[in-house]
Each structure stands twice: as structure tokens, then as C-alpha cells.
């Protein structure tokens, strides 16, 4: 990951923590998730999505366009 996720804070949260919290909120709002999935897996999913978003936000736009997708 380029840059530091702690370079930006919002209310004491790093960018990564804030994005993960928003992703988790969205995942938990989905009534389709079974209760046993909530324990542990949703937190990991939210963190993975935050990392993915930060990675793509920090990626070189030219590389992203030339990725062939």
C-alpha cells in the first residue's frame, strides 16, 4: 500500500479504520447475513474491503486504465 493510512484521521480514526467501520455498517445492514457469519468474518471482510479501497485510491491512474478491464 502506498502512503500511510494514518496520514489522515477523522475523529481520531485512521482512514483505514473509518472505511472499515463504514464497510462493516453496510455489511451488518444486510438482512441476508446469518448470525453465525457476523462473529469475526464480517470484521475481516470490512478490513479487507477498506484495504482494497485504499490500495485502489493510491494506485497510479494510468496503470489502472491500462489494466485491460
pLDDT score, position 35 = 65
| Distance separating alpha carbons of residues 20 and 53, to the nearest angstrom | 10
In sequence order, what are the residues at sequence separation of 6 or more whose Cβ sits closer than 8 angstroms to the Cβ of residue 2? 58, 59
More confident of the two residues 2 and 35? 35
How does pLDDT run across 18-62, given as a tens digit for each residue? 999 999 899 888 877 766 565 678 889 999 999 999 999 888 777
pTM tops 0.85, yes or no: no
Report which of residues 12 and 6 the model is more confident about. 12
Q: Where are the domains of the chain?
A: 9-63
Amino acid at each position: 500500500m502506498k502512503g500511510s493510512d494514518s496520514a489522515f484521521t477523522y475523529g481520531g480514526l485512521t482512514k483505514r479504520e473509518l472505511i472499515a467501520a463504514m464497510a462493516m455498517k453496510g455489511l451488518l445492514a444486510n438482512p441476508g447475513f446469518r448470525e453465525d457469519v457476523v462473529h469475526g468474518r464480517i470484521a475481516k471482510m470490512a478490513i479487507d474491503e477498506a484495504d482494497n479501497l485504499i490500495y485502489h485510491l493510491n494506485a497510479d491512474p494510468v496503470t489502472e486504465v491500462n489494466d485491460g478491464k
